[in-house]
Structure 1
Amino acid sequence: MSERRIRDSYAARATEYTELMGDIAQMDAVDRERIGQWAGGVEGRILDAGCGPGHWTAFLAERGHEAEGIDLVPDFITTARIRFPHVSYRVASLADPGVERGSLGGILAWYSLIHATRGELPALLAEARHALRDGGVLLAGFFDGRDAEPFPHAVTTAHFWSVDGMSRHLEQAGFTVVDSETRVQEGRRPHASVTAVAV
């Protein structure tokens, strides 16, 4: 995974991406429920890692959570600040989130790990663990499939992960997996998400 390639690929389609996927009303109701319930159990600040145009960060903030969004793509951050001026956004990535060690109560990594290869995922999860306090909670959403198998994502190459495979990596990074869910919807790639507590 080249951060430059990912940044440039998303920057080239930032306007299109925002129009197609940048409104919370465009998100699946099941995802809104899942993320809302997860956030309700988080104590402390939440980092939305890979926030894109900022809609999930705003969703959390509007429900009373102290939430900040980070993204590699400056165009996304500019757009998010304009659309949601009451929410904090900045250019950064999960590889270097720019937060103090143990300072976060939660990290939302909703489809922000999908471009990491098998060799790169452990370091990202380790950074997430470092940023979370003991007992902090991570929620990761991703495409369900054969571990690390690449596929031609609409923006740039992405990878599938199984719940078991993602869970193993989380456990190796210092997390305990507490729940997961999967679903298949017509016309979409299979979806999965995992909640894990920092131990």
Structure 2
Amino acid sequence: MSDEVTGAYGARAESYHRLLGTAEGASPAEKDLITRWARTVEGSIIDAGSGSGRWTHILHQMGLEVMGIDITPELVGIARREYPDVTFIEGSMDTLPVPDGALGGILAWYSLIHTPPEQMPDVLAEFHRALRPGGSILLGYIDGTEVTTVEHPIAPTWSWSAAEMTNLLDDEGFRIIHSQHRQDAGTWPQATVIAIKKQ
């Protein structure tokens, strides 16, 4: 992720947290999907691109071993302030601070939308490295008819078609076991994918 993205989120960290980042403001449908996925995970979880920490906090409340990682120092600071009992670290999704095969699951909830398409294989390869065989990822992303840029108020953003996302995940050693598409009023088309690391 570029310095442009990090700086843009850093400058808006407090307003972003107030608008989108509180656990109390989490969508019930999103919370249901994420918590149902988390209950299937065997082992520890990383919330990759954890922002101000609401999903990491929710998973921690479930009694799961979870850590949040984000590249924006200001957001990591807010997460530590709001949820002091949860572990948050500053770092990048393409260099996760765990040994090979250490994780049971990785949550990347709309945190890959600012990743340029040419960098996505490297990020997913890192996810694959960090997961144990049979471990899973849950991705939220912007749905589209192709890989293309979309207007975003903070930073450059890309959408993916279902076919292109499927091919990308397959190429990086994942098998999709769940996908969902929806269109909420006033926002982009949304897509979610659960994929497991191939044996």
TM beyond 0.5:
yes
Match of 1:154 in 2: 153
- Distance in 2 of aligned mates of 1:82 and 1:147: 39
User: How far 1:58 sits from its partner (Å)?
Assistant: 0.3
Are positions 1:142 and 2:141 aligned together?
yes
Q: Structure 2: which amino acid aligns with 1:5?
A: E
Q: Structure 1: which amino acid aligns with 2:156?
A: T
Match of 2:52 in 1: 53
User: How far 1:168 sits from its partner (Å)?
Assistant: 1.1
Match of 2:80 in 1: 81
- Distance in 2 of aligned mates of 1:99 and 1:146: 35
User: How far 1:27 sits from its partner (Å)?
Assistant: 2.1
Matches within 5 A, 1:5-20: 5-20=4-19
- Distance in 1 of aligned mates of 2:2 and 2:66: 23
- Distance in 2 of aligned mates of 1:175 and 1:187: 32
User: How far 1:148 sits from its partner (Å)?
Assistant: 2.1
Match of 1:100 in 2: 99
User: How far 1:97 sits from its partner (Å)?
Assistant: 1.3
Match of 1:166 in 2: 165
Q: Is the 8 A contact 1:163 1:194 kept in 2?
A: no
Match of 2:123 in 1: 124
**CA-to-partner distance for each residue in 1:50-76, whole Å, 9 max, x for gaps?**
000000000000011100000000111
Match of 1:192 in 2: 191
User: How far 1:29 sits from its partner (Å)?
Assistant: 1.1
User: How far 1:176 sits from its partner (Å)?
Assistant: 0.7
**CA-to-partner distance for each residue in 1:33-54, whole Å, 9 max, x for gaps?**
0001000000000000000000
**CA-to-partner distance for each residue in 1:63-113, whole Å, 9 max, x for gaps?**
111000000001111111111111000001111111111100000000011
Number of positions where the alignment pairs a residue of Structure 1 with one of Structure 2: 198
Q: Structure 2: which amino acid aligns with 1:70?
A: I
Are positions 1:69 and 2:68 aligned together?
yes
Match of 1:31 in 2: 30
TM-score of the superposed pair, with normalisation by structure 2? 0.97
Q: Structure 2: which amino acid aligns with 1:50?
A: G
- Distance in 2 of aligned mates of 1:7 and 1:60: 25
Long gaps (5+) in structure 1 = none
**CA-to-partner distance for each residue in 1:113-155, whole Å, 9 max, x for gaps?**
1012221111110010001010100000011113321012111
- Counting aligned pairs with the same residue, the percent is 37
User: How far 1:14 sits from its partner (Å)?
Assistant: 0.5
User: How far 1:3 sits from its partner (Å)?
Assistant: 2.4
Paired residue secondary structure (2:117): coil
Long gaps (5+) in structure 2 = none
- Distance in 2 of aligned mates of 1:61 and 1:147: 35
TM-score of the superposed pair, with normalisation by structure 1? 0.97
Q: Is the 8 A contact 1:163 1:193 kept in 2?
A: no
- Distance in 2 of aligned mates of 1:148 and 1:126: 19
Match of 1:4 in 2: 3
